Each structure stands twice: as C-alpha cells, then as structure tokens.
Amino acid sequence: MQRIRLRYTKRGRLRFTSHRDFQRAFERALRRAAVPMAYSAGFTPHPKVSYANAAPTGTGSEAEYLEIALTEARDPEALRALLDESLPRGLDLTDAVEAHTSSFADRLTASVWELRLDRVEPAVAKEAVDAFLAAGSVEVQRRTKSGMRAFDARAAVVRLELLDASEASRPSSPEGNLMADGPTEQPCAILRLVVRHVTPAVRPDDVLSGLRAVADLAPPVPAAVTRLAQGLFDEENGTVTDPLAPDREAVTAPPKADGAAAAAVQPGPA
C-alpha cells in the first residue's frame, strides 16, 4: 500500500465550503481520476482518506492537508495534477509527496493566519493588539454542542501583529485575491496571527472575540480570514515549518553508511 500526502487550498468563494462539502468533492475527484484507492473493511467500505485539522467554514486557506492510501504505486506529482483537474476551481491541490514518515498529524502543531479587518483604522487595531498581548489571560466564550464554553484565548497565541498593506499575502485565485474582498477605499487593518494547536482549539474568531473583550474592537464587517501555513512550530526562530519536508528529505537523503556499524564491531588494537 502506498500513502500520498496532499496539500490543498480553499480560495475565493470556495472558502464557504464546509469540510463535508470538500470531502464529497474530493471523493468524486478520486472516482473521476480512476485513482486505485484502498478501501476500509466492513459492510460499507470507504476510501482510505485521512483529513488533518480542517479550517473552519468561511475561512480561506493555503495550507490544508490530507492523506490517501493506494493499492498501486503512483507518481505523487502526476497524481496531484490529475486530481486537481477534477476539483472545482478554488479547491486546488498544490503539493504532493509520498509518505515516508509516521505521525503526520503530530507535525501540525501551529497555524499562521491572516485577518483582514475592513473599515478598521490600523492605529485602532494596533492599540487592541497591544492590549491583547499585554493581558495575562483573555477569557472568551464559544458555543459548543454541550452549550457555551469559556476558555483562555491568550495562552495559545504565539504572535499577533499589525502588518503594513505591502506585507500582506496575495494568494492567487480564479475568484480574485481573497484578501482584497470587500471595500478597498476604506481604512483596513491586516493582522498576522500565529497560534498553537491546543485543546480546546483557539480559532481566529476566538482571537477576534478577545480583541473585542480587551479593547472593544468590533469590525463593522466580518473579517476575511486566511490560513497561510500550518505545521510544526519551531521554538528557536518562532516559525511554522513545512510538514511535508520530512517526507521529501527521506527521499533525497543518502542511505546511511555502514561504516559506523562496522566500526562498532571492529576489534580494537591488541
């Protein structure tokens, strides 16, 4: 069995697709592309597809991940291109590698988000960000299946900063630039957020609720939110690394020399 890990996007209007909507679209793409999928056992077999940490409905993303299991070996890049042709524009497969490592989900420990706050003066947003970061904890509430739940949104935030317009990302999209949605002649504040994946999960909406709680920052229009990256958080430089890199390195790394093993058993001088 071969395992392929894929990176995909949710761009433009396709950010409003739910995770279940994407699952249906992706499984249709698998059938159209005649991918030799491995199936689960039981009375209702399903293709072996594992989804990792999907973004909330309504948010865009440049870094969603999934893994599929095949019964026949395929070239990852050729398979990616074939599947991409069968998906709607905006749900784009942008990367693929063969899985050579385990515990892929364990490498998704943090996300980088971009939040566009239309009709918010940058100076006002900066004051709110400073107040949020200065707080020891910021309690917010979110409705869950079991009712309202309160939790600290501050502890999971590694970095929160105001960007200049020139620093904002510009993801390509057939629907147009996601971060340019909404008014363009009005004031606009763009925030960059790095958040750890904790339990309960802290989402961009929770951070926006926290900004409202500490500084009464309430954007007059819904924020445009995009996940730019997710992966393992590097404690040394504060960045989020590419979770597919270990699989690429496993392919390109030279085989281990037997010299070390031979030296371990080579008898020393008499």
Query: What pLDDT digit, counting tens, does each position of 55-89 carry?
Result: 999 999 999 999 999 999 999 999 999 999 999 99
SS3 label, residue 205:
helix
| Boundaries of every domain in the chain | 2-106, 108-240
CATH topology of domain 108-240: Alpha-Beta Plaits (3.30.70)
User: What is the Cα–Cα distance from 163 to 155, expressed in whole angstroms?
Assistant: 22
Q: How many CA atoms lie within 13 A of 175 on its CB side?
A: 19
SS3 label, residue 106:
helix
Each residue's pLDDT tens digit, 177-207 = 444 444 457 899 999 999 999 988 999 999 9
Number of Cβ atoms within 10 Å of the Cβ of 82: 17
Structure tokens at 194: 């790095």
Tell me whether domains 2-106 and 108-240 share a fold.
Answer: yes
Distance in angstroms between the alpha carbons of the first and the last residue of the chain: 50
User: What is the Cα–Cα distance from 152 to 161, expressed in whole angstroms?
Assistant: 19
Mean pLDDT value of segment 15-23: 94
61 contact partners, CB below 8 Å, separation of at least 6 = 9, 10, 15, 55, 226, 227
Question: Which amino acid type is present at position 178?
Answer: L
Each residue's pLDDT tens digit, 117-174 = 999 999 999 999 999 999 999 999 988 778 888 999 999 999 999 998 766 665 544 3
Question: Which amino acid type is present at position 117?
Answer: L
Structure tokens at 212: 């409202």
Give pTM, 2 decimals.
Answer: 0.85
Q: What is the pLDDT of residue 186?
A: 87
Does domain 2-106 fall into CATH 3.30.460.80? no
User: What is the Cα–Cα distance from 192 to 235, expressed in whole angstroms?
Assistant: 18
Q: What is the pLDDT of residue 169?
A: 67
SS3 label, residue 90:
coil
- Indicate the average pLDDT of the chain: 88
C-beta separation of 14 from 175 below 8 A:
yes
SS3 label, residue 180:
helix
C-beta separation of 32 from 86 below 8 A:
yes
